[in-house]
Amino acid sequence: MRILAIESSCDETAASLVKIDQKGIEVERNIVSSQVNIHAKYGGVVPEVAARMHAETIIPVLQECFGRKYKAEDVDAIAVTYGPGLITSLLVGLETAKTLAYVWQKPIIGVNHLEGHLYSSWLESEELTVNSKEIFPAIVLIVSGGHTELILMTDYGQYKTIGKTRDDAAGEAFDKVAKIMNIGYPGGPIISERAAEGKPDAIDFPRPMLNSKSLDFSFSGLKTAVRYYVDGRKLKEREINNIAASFQEAAVDVLREKAMLAIAKYQAKSLIIGGGVAANKKLRKELLIATDRAGIQFYCPRMKYAGDNAAMIALAGYYHLQGYSKEKLAEQINNWKILQPDANLEL
């Protein structure tokens, strides 16, 4: 089965062609057009600007995705992100996908953006295959600019949210701390780069909810602690690096300990991580060490699949279509009539 997928939930316009069969998962095309340079001057994503850029780039992105090699008849189904995200951004990708489904008469399936991140570790993985079962039950840690959640996954399509942030998402905290220090946007990669040159024990920032038995997160207090520390100071490069390293250390400590608490509570066989913050080298290293000590498997996406992309949406769509009879698959051709965006969609 070859799936065309479209993703436009925030500030990346993406399209991908993914072929899935018993041989494995092949990402044939994966095109991502990022708006990060446009939003950088605002210090964050501006919804109206994001939607306008999606509208301008969606067709060129699709054209680049298909190139001269692929045609409509090569596509078996269409998968598209329909939430959560920015409603005006979601609309661009969704309406484009619905139009293609109608014109080409192809089955179309709506995919939860978070579910896409959940499956991103499967892309180009030599260990995880289409029918991997030995990883369940698994704990999934989704960490991005808009979400920080712990999910219990007992099988494909079987999820239960067991913890989430009560205020700021982890990625949002990284962005805000970078803004507090006036070192640029997006904050995640900048903080990570600065932290590599700093001392993680230079400043003892708080670890909110670290000792709580709850699986929820809170990053607002950590962000505020950084703000109070920086307030009124003229920061030198070394101080910026130390603040970045100490902040990152605190955030990673919380993420690691909450994930391991969930693993112990639910006797999980594996930990899966997804989302933009999954690209953070410190977080990946700490989770690898922790899971190795616990004797369980750790799965994380390749760097190029950590951020928003359409390949992960294609794979999540495939698992939705698994088990569909030919009749039920054919019924999805008319799904374009009822598929609507949901900015607050939950997994």
Ligand-binding site membership of 117 (annotated): yes
* DSSP E strand stretches across the chain: 2-7, 12-21, 24-34, 77-83, 108-112, 138-143, 148-155, 158-164, 270-274, 297-299
Q: What is the DSSP letter of 169?
A: -
Ligand-binding site membership of 280 (annotated): yes
Ligand-binding site membership of 21 (annotated): no
Ligand-binding site membership of 254 (annotated): no
Ligand-binding site membership of 175 (annotated): yes
Ligand-binding site membership of 146 (annotated): yes
Ligand-binding site membership of 116 (annotated): no
Q: Which two tokens stand for residue 202?
A: 């230079």
Q: Which of 239, 229, 208, 176 is nearest to 43 (CA)?
A: 176
- Tell me which residue has tokens 């999910």: 151
Q: Which two tokens stand for residue 266?
A: 């639910």
Calculate ∠ Cα 144-93-58, nearest 5°.
105
* DSSP E strand stretches across 60-206: 77-83, 108-112, 138-143, 148-155, 158-164
Q: Which of 189, 93, 94, 85 is nearest to 146 (CA)?
A: 85
Ligand-binding site membership of 144 (annotated): yes
Enumerate residues 6+ apart whose C-beta is below 8 A from 182.
none
Ligand-binding site membership of 334 (annotated): no
Which amino acids are annotated as binding site for Fe cation, given as ranges? 113, 117, 308
Which amino acids are annotated as binding site, given as ranges? 113, 117, 142-146, 175, 188, 280, 308
Which amino acids are annotated as binding site for substrate, given as ranges? 142-146, 175, 188, 280
